[in-house]
Structure 1
Amino acid sequence: MNSLLKKGETSGTPQLSDSIELSSMGHRLTIILFGNSAAVQYQHNNILLGEIQPNIENVAISMTVPSQMKISGHCVSVINLIGLHETALDLDSLTDQLVNENEIIAFIFVVRLGQLTDADKMGLEWLQRVFGDRVLQFVMILFTYESQEESDSIIDDLKKDSTLEQLLKKCGGRFHTCSKKMNNQSEMSDLMNRIENLFTDNKQQSYTSEMYNTALREREDLQNRTSQSDQCRRTEESMENSTRTEKRERLESMQTPHECH
């Protein structure tokens, strides 16, 4: 593990005291949360998500409208996509709307500390598949915990889990920790500062519709190539089957005794 992985620090991130107060500059922090639904706990004092878990089956209504809030003086818009990557829903219209209507400056990947699952691994793959590889520069992992002891052991956990370490490297070494209840004002304030620092590291650039459209074209091209490849394979298999059938029929015809007249 490199020196970047100090608890709560992010790659290339200045100290909190040096962070730019975006709210005072008229900027709103628009963030997307995605990841494992088991990594969060919805309740009345959950600062980021509140107490009502969105209805994933009614995704068009429950997830396209950002929740507006103020956290330690920061104006924040939260778009909750947690658990969405585990569904079979067609999300193109949803993601297109989100990208075109919001200036998203961070994608927060919520992971349960010490319990990396296959669904967690799929979460980042899903994000890249939908939003393209350039989205990684906007991603920060948020490890949630149930007890303070879990939080204190994060460095050891990262060192022990090579898969988790690779996941973190893909996100530029950026991570933060908080209670899965998300009810600690200090932790949430620190998270907002780190999001601001990420925005600064990205030269105050948000994820753009151009980035999304590029990713969408690449995804469609890949699907077309895959479809064409599958069609070619099926055609070849059909021709091979037809050839085998013809050979078998000729062989059977040659082996059949002819009647004498």
Structure 2
Amino acid sequence: MATSQIREEALQLTEMRLVLLGKRGAGKTAAGNTIFGREEFRREGESCVKRRAEVAGRQVIVVDTPGWDRVNVQRTSDQTKEELKRSVLLCPPGPHALLLVIPLEEFPERENKAVNKHMHFLGDRAWRHTIVLLTCDDELRGTTVEEHIAKEKHLQRLVEKCGNRYHFLSNVSGCPRTQVTELLGKIEEMVVENGGEFYIPQVYYDIIESRTPKEYTDMRREHEEKVWLLKERWRKREEQLKKENEELKKQNKELYKGESESRGLRKRRSSLENPPNLAGERTEEEERQQKEEKEGTGQRIDPDAIRLGYRDAGMALIQHYIKPAAVILSAIVGALIGAIAGAHRGTMGAALGVPIGVGIALLLAALIRQEARAARGTTPFLRAEDSRTQSHQRLQQQTSSPSLAHS
């Protein structure tokens, strides 16, 4: 189900029932007061406390429970264990979310074991309706919640057991109410993901199971297992894609950094090979260029000689390309004539007429070209070379005599 659809369906909840769970001193009472926006709960006692108020346009019921021992379930009093079981019965027909309050500090393995053992009193179904609520008495500084979870491996496993559902709630006074509305939004999304179901207390669940046919119960459990497996696969795939995306960003950043360093190195190498002349002295190359510029200022080039040179070069170029074109055209014409002449003898005659016509046309073109050369007494190539040589000589004579150019 898409996130937008989840949120649209989640908005239909007009009442929300919550239960706060956690060790002694975890900050459950402060978290309840932060959700209501005022002091509704007092200090932790040995009994559950239930409060109701309107929050963000909906009726919210919060049950605060007594805290359990942080490391050993055996040291938790029997009354606290009974109150833990009774807490989910105080908001019938059952809570929408179990908020497992964990302080934003070190989370060793022994505390993780204690959490799992105390949550066992509510059954394994409780994890489907649990959100890890990370709290502190100050604003978050210097690190992010995600970084803290990644650093504490036992906390990371606990979050994964809750379907990667977690939220940060600062209990300091004056914090924005958006953190509360975001928490309620995550709870609504969880309810929709669970098919609109809330947590059914174990007493009611056992009664329902006893009256439900075994075939239906087995089918439902099988369906729940498949849904859980699909969610786990999707979560792992999402994490893998996220890691691959971060790796690609890192590679692109390193590549861009390498290109920038390479451009800087080339620029420094160029500046070392051609250092700037800070002393203001002229190099031999600069003096030679300046001398040539001074000598060139007293000379004047005849434009007619330049135009004549361009014209001779152009004529030579035209003659160079027009000859092959004339030969090809003659061959084509001869081929057409030969094909037409041999067409009256059929296809074979037309095919034989083509090479005969090409040969005759090329022979005639060669004879005409030879006669033309004999009439002129020289080859066109030599005549073009002589013309370019003469133009070049005239240009040199004009440029080598500045006094004549001025006259």
Same fold (TM over 0.5): yes
1:98–1:148 distance in 2 versus 1, CA, 3 Å: closer
Deviating more after overlay: 163-172 vs 110-119: 110-119
Question: Cα distance, 1:51 vs. partner?
Answer: 5.6
2:25 is aligned with 1:38? yes
Q: How many residues align?
A: 196
**Which structure: larger Rg?**
2
Question: Cα distance, 1:50 vs. partner?
Answer: 2.6
Give the conservation status (yes or no) of the 8 Å contact 2:66–2:83.
no
- Aligned counterparts of 2:5 and 2:139: Cα–Cα separation in 1: 24
2:35 is aligned with 1:47? yes
1:120-176 CA distance string (max 9 Å, x none): 64134301x2111111100000111322216x4222222222111111111111001
Give the RMSD, CA atoms, in angstroms: 3.5
Paired residue for 1:73? 57
Give the conservation status (yes or no) of the 8 Å contact 1:34–1:80.
yes
Paired residue for 1:190? 182
- Aligned counterparts of 1:116 and 1:16: Cα–Cα separation in 2: 35
1:135–1:26 distance in 2 versus 1, CA, 3 Å: closer
Question: Cα distance, 1:33 vs. partner?
Answer: 0.6
Question: Cα distance, 1:208 vs. partner?
Answer: 1.3
Secondary structure in 1 matching 2:89: helix
Counterparts of 1:1-261 in structure 2, within 5 Å, are 14=3, 18-22=7-11, 25=12, 27-40=14-27, 42=30, 46-48=34-36, 50=39, 52-57=41-46, 59=47, 63=48, 66-84=50-68, 87-90=76-79, 91-92=81-82, 95-96=85-86, 98-99=88-89, 102=92, 103-116=94-107, 118-119=110-111, 121-127=113-119, 129-145=120-136, 146-149=138-141, 152-181=143-172, 184-210=176-202, 214=206
1:79–1:26 distance in 2 versus 1, CA, 3 Å: same
Give the conservation status (yes or no) of the 8 Å contact 1:142–1:175.
yes
Give the conservation status (yes or no) of the 8 Å contact 2:112–2:158.
no
Deviating more after overlay: 199-208 vs 176-185: 176-185
1:17-70 CA distance string (max 9 Å, x none): 934355xx464110111113433264996334836434423x1xxx15x21011
- Aligned counterparts of 1:44 and 1:106: Cα–Cα separation in 2: 13
- Aligned counterparts of 2:8 and 2:66: Cα–Cα separation in 1: 27
Give the conservation status (yes or no) of the 8 Å contact 1:131–1:212.
no
Amino-acid identity (%): 20
Q: TM-score, normalised by structure 1?
A: 0.62
Give the conservation status (yes or no) of the 8 Å contact 1:111–1:142.
yes
Q: TM-score, normalised by structure 2?
A: 0.42
1:121–1:74 distance in 2 versus 1, CA, 3 Å: farther
Secondary structure in 1 matching 2:17: strand
